[in-house]
Amino acid sequence: MTMNIRRVLRTIAISGLWVALFSMTVEAKTKVTSESFGKMPDGTPVEIFTLSDGPYEARVATYGGIVVSLRVPDRNGKPADVVLGFDNVDGYLANFNGPADAFFGALIGRYANRIAHGSFTLDGRKYSLPLNNGENSLHGGPHGFNNVVWKAKPIANGVELSYLSKDGEAGYPGNLSAVVRYTLMKGDLRIEYSAATDKDTVVNLTNHSYFNLAGKGDILDHRLTLHASRFTPVDVGLIPTGELKSVASTPFDFRKATAVGARIHADDEQLHRGRGYDHNWVLDTDSGGGKLGEAAELYDPSSGRVLKVLTDQPGIQFYSGNFLDGSIKGKGGKPYELHSALCLETQHFPDSPNHPDFPTTELKPSQRYHTVTVYSFSVR
């Protein structure tokens, strides 16, 4: 192991120790268990961790750091699984490596969302990434963080996943040591991302869960609120143009709770390009300095379930499941049809390495990447 890799691991270990010591002061109430979830083609075992706290349950796999299922109660106390996915690791392997990769529930890295033409320049050097979305690189490319087996250990109220992405992996510079902690307490699924590098690099991590608060049907009647007065318009390749456009008087105005399907078929160029909503919103919340702010609220009138998204990130990608077409068979063999779920991916902006005016995604060896997102469930 090189000295640089040791330095990265030491940095992340020290931060992890602090969190572990802090967690010891918090009474752990969530039951954490693990079992086999299958094997990789090379025989590597995959585990799944179950986090149980009363009527709430989250299951997280070591392959891809996937949120496989998330059971939450409705207004009558009846629980249902509110995320899309598969019954075993084979389903994810087939989907993640196929032409219709949907990234169900996975951890995304090194860079969430799109990088134009699969290239960026950092410190005067151009880096080229594998293409997997037309002429662009999407969600870290075909061999991103969703396609690796993470090391795992139980922690108070959850599970900690770790992965060392070596210098040059998927075209990115630097040995990047990533740690992601999932915890579940009283309806709050908290995801804490940390990373350290030994070379200047770019990082943008998120989770790609698909939510349907009814647990069935489509999400067009879900009421969505986005605390954002601007969004980033895209070109025909879904790459941001660089403009931060006002949502006022557009179908992108979700500052007041609005049904997802109310304007999804409007005659709007941006909706045509995304085949629906597949855009980054610029959050209004003052989330600087690691402060959590409310980014979004999703409400399903039929079940009464409410999902609030809190984050310290500057953006959120709202994707309305536009490329689901029934060809993918999920849990129990259920086909995932158009708009059968939506994603709310907290993030820095797409293609930021190629937009100097966007919030930077650069990470230097002297810095520590750290961000938190909470998916908070309740009923109404």
Query: Which residues have a catalytic role annotated?
Result: 208, 345
Give the DSSP letter string of 126-187: EEE----BTTBEETT-TTSGGGSBPEEEEETTEEEEEEEE-TTGGG--S-EEEEEEEEEETT
Residues 6+ apart with CB under 8 A from 136: 114, 115, 116, 117, 118, 237, 238, 239
Half-sphere exposure of 288 (CA within 13 A, CB side): 3
Place of tokens 């943008």: 204
The Cα–Cα gap between 89 and 1 comes to 31
Our CA dihedral for 47, 51, 57, 61, rounded to 10 degrees, sits at -20
User: Encoding tokens for residue 316?
Assistant: 């959120």
Q: What are phi and psi of 29, to 5 degrees?
A: -115, -20
DSSP state of 202: E
Please state, in angstroms and rounded to a whole number, the distance separating the CA atoms of residues 46 and 188.
25
